[in-house]
Amino acid sequence: MRYLPVFGILLATLFAPAARAQPASMPHNVVLFVADGLRARMVDDSTAPTMAAIARDGVNLRNGHALFPTFTTANASAMATGHMLGDTGDFSNTIYTGFEVPGAGKSMTPFLESDPVLGDVDEHFGGNYLNEATILKLAREKGYSTATIGKLGPALVFDPTERSGNETIVVDDSTGSARGIPLASDVIERLKAASLPLAAPPRGVNAAAGNMSIPGTSSANAIQQDYFASVATRVVLPAFKTRNKPFVLVFWSRDPDGTQHNQGDSLNELVPGINGPTSLAAIRNADDDLARIRSALDELGLLDTTDMIVTADHGFSTISKESSTSATVKMKFADVLEGHLPVGFVALDLAQALNLPLLDPDDGYRSIGEGRHPRLGNGLVGGDRSNPKIVVAANGGSDLIYIPDGDKDMAGRVVDALLAQDYVSGIFVDAKLGRFRGTLTLDDVALAGTAVTPMPAIAVSFRSFDTVCGEPVRCTVEVADTGLQQGQGMHGSFSRADTWNFMAMQGPDFKSHFVDPAPASNADLGRTIAQLMALDVHDKGKLIGRVLAEALPNGAIPPVKSRVLTSEPAPNGLATMIDLQTVGDTRYFDAAGFQGRTVGLSATSLAPATQWMRRGPSAAKAALQDPCAPPRIGPNGCTASRPGHTAVARLAARHENCHCAIGRRYGMRELGTKGSAISQAAQPRCRVHAGRAHRACAPGDA
């Protein structure tokens, strides 16, 4: 059912002069709209017309960046504070807290998308686990109106310390329940007047994730988001209009993220993956909600005095659950397809490699025996419940590994175990534990700062590749530590598909029809909003974003530098690489990992695909018909193949001169030297060019 607006505006007002400008001393309003999991390259006039119009008519931040690990609460903390994750301590959706969290069933590895969990973590870490003031807190302290509406978890991250409901309006999945933030009396009265429920509806069929034999949802998150959009347009914005003072509204759309995770368009198949009709419907659902908010602002006479900022917390990829090195693919689990990785494969592999016991912190700390995997993927490896030797916080396209006692020798053993796995692509280690060949440090990716939550010992990103659709970031696949199935959706890796988020802005404080080539990140949004609202910021940490001054009137495009940071190679030849850009002292991480195992890394440049798309669909199609290009992936192609499997061998056999291209496209560089699927003799005739991702080897190349 659609909740129709109850406020009416006379037709004449549509043609009335613009609303009276704010006094010079008063800032304009800000609406921050977050389309969770929206890939930058998925927005156009057909998929998301409102977002496309904002980017076209306002500022198109075409060089956007999510922060790694590319997860929701992590990037919410960056938007909310203007700081990177090494300062906020929100390292991923699931972290190790060092204490048993009541709101998470006494788990030490809580999932942060929970109002009670955020309250527990805040209380434990001095009242504010982020250790930095958020833009909503600073705005309300200045007397401005504030509200945050939408997805459970990230919505509250924007003002986690205000739990009374009387200062910042908080409406999320838990609203109306004992687990939610209470509503102020005036909000309750306005909800009643608008004939809206006092409790948020559940996701319904959109929450159905399916299992290994039953597809997930075929519906976008329409019902729940319709409620949130109705609250924003019929309750909150009219209230802010009445208050007649500047406001900041955060609207966090669960779509397309929630639908891309659960979609049932591609069960156990890599194509269409997250590019099927259900995912596209979710993108349009988010866009429709944005359109409703814009329309309400217009009808209320607020559009001309409101800056609209649209972003995504991260990109997205299709899930792969395959490996040829993990011991877990030879194990049998009741809820996992034979030969597929179970959720918790990192914890299981480390426990086996180190010959240590494994406990499940999300199942009463029970021991994990044969035929079982951690319920949510998290695990305590070695030691006991009170003093684990290793803690694995499973998240998806990357995992966090903690070594609570700081054992340097143990850190080295963990690194060695990770380097042996084909699903790993990029390892980052706390410098206090030492330097290890094949790895870079947490500081190299802005994960070491002033955080008050426990800092991971190791962050590990997983392998990614693409299904050869003409533009790698649109069809990236990543190995993911998740209970979801192959073919569903995930994020969290260091591929460019996961770091490249959609970002655009439009409003009285921004340029018009401006395409910004400089890098921008979610942390920059927090700093930019703070400047627009003239907030009094007092930073504790130094890992801060920058004000996007070039997007403001008379702002100049800043100088941008690019470089590649590479570790010393490990004994097996693997080296962690980072492609990054810098504006002054601010760093932007494009992609990172092992060469040939990460989409968007230097060895798999995105330039050719981008050029093809500029030339039009026919050019892209022609490029894909190159005789050296692998055929489109399908059920009888490489959908279910792993390094060394016969499906890859069949592809390689079709184009002898293109063997290295096929290995590169599937993120399996090692096939060229030790895999039987690609002949040794073919390798000298192939040369992979960094700027030719899909035309890596033309026939006759030497």
Q: Which residues, 6+ apart, have CB-to-CB distance to 634 below 8 Å?
A: 271
- 329 and 182: one domain? no
Cα–chain-centroid distance for residue 641? Answer: 26
Q: How confident is the model at residue 603 (pLDDT cuts 50, 70, 90)?
A: low
- 144 and 119: one domain? yes
- 227 and 111: one domain? yes
Q: Which residues, 6+ apart, have CB-to-CB distance to 46 below 8 Å?
A: none
The arithmetic mean of pLDDT across residues 200-216, rounded, is: 98
* pLDDT at residue 5, as a whole number: 40
- More reliable by pLDDT, 284 or 616: 284
- More reliable by pLDDT, 14 or 367: 367
- 239 and 342: one domain? no
The arithmetic mean of pLDDT across residues 606-615, rounded, is: 33
CATH number at residue 162: 3.40.720.10
- Percent of the chain at pLDDT above 90? 82
- 274 and 416: one domain? no
The pTM of this model reads 0.85
Residue 370: Cβ within 10 Å count: 6
Residue 469 lies in a domain: yes
- 294 and 387: one domain? no
Which tens digits make up the pLDDT trace of 395-436?
999 999 999 999 999 999 999 999 999 999 999 999 999 999
- Calculated CA dihedral for residues 641, 645, 646, 647, nearest 10 degrees: 20
pLDDT over 90 (residue 679): no
Final residue of a structural domain among 538, 565, 595: 538
Residue whose C-alpha is closest to residue 82's, from 499, 558, 543: 543
* pLDDT at residue 11, as a whole number: 30
SS3 615: helix
Strand order across the 168-172 sheet: 168-172, 145-150, 247-253, 29-35, 306-311, 503-506, 59-61, 514-516
Which tens digits make up the pLDDT trace of 166-182?
999 999 999 999 999 99
Residue 14 lies in a domain: no
Q: Which residues, 6+ apart, have CB-to-CB distance to 320 below 8 Å?
A: 270, 463, 465, 477, 478, 479, 480, 486
Asked if residue 447 lies in contact with residue 439, where contact means CB atoms within 8 angstroms, the answer is no
| DSSP, res 101 | B
Residue 586 lies in a domain: no
pLDDT over 50 (residue 305): yes
**Cα distances (angstroms) measured from residue 23 to each of 26, 28, 473, 553:** 5, 9, 45, 18
How far is Cα 261 from Cα 244, in angstroms, rounded to an integer? 40
- 373 and 267: one domain? no
- 216 and 87: one domain? yes
pLDDT over 50 (residue 36): yes
* pLDDT at residue 693, as a whole number: 30
Residue 550 lies in a domain: no
What domain range is 521 assigned to? Answer: 34-318+496-538
Q: Which residues, 6+ apart, have CB-to-CB distance to 601 below 8 Å?
A: 495, 496, 577, 579, 591, 592, 593, 595
Query: For residue 440, what is the enclosing H or E element?
Result: strand 440-441
Q: How confident is the model at residue 496 (pLDDT cuts 50, 70, 90)?
A: very high
- 307 and 232: one domain? yes
* pLDDT at residue 25, as a whole number: 72
- 435 and 504: one domain? no
Amino acid at 570: A
- 534 and 657: one domain? no
Residue 543 lies in a domain: no
Provide the number of structural domains found in the chain: 3
Amino acid at 101: V
How far is Cα 284 from Cα 401, in angstroms, rounded to an integer? 37
- 344 and 308: one domain? no
Q: How confident is the model at residue 642 (pLDDT cuts 50, 70, 90)?
A: very low
**Cα distances (angstroms) measured from residue 567 to each of 58, 496, 564:** 40, 19, 10
Which tens digits make up the pLDDT trace of 546-559?
999 999 999 999 99
Residue 8 lies in a domain: no
Please state, rounded to an integer, the average pLDDT across all residues of the chain: 86
pLDDT over 90 (residue 615): no
Residue 477 lies in a domain: yes
pLDDT over 60 (residue 632): no
How far is Cα 289 from Cα 3, in angstroms, rounded to an integer? 12
Residue 212 lies in a domain: yes
The arithmetic mean of pLDDT across residues 506-531, rounded, is: 98
The arithmetic mean of pLDDT across residues 80-84, rounded, is: 98
- More reliable by pLDDT, 45 or 10: 45
Which structure tokens are listed for 276?
Answer: 């099927």
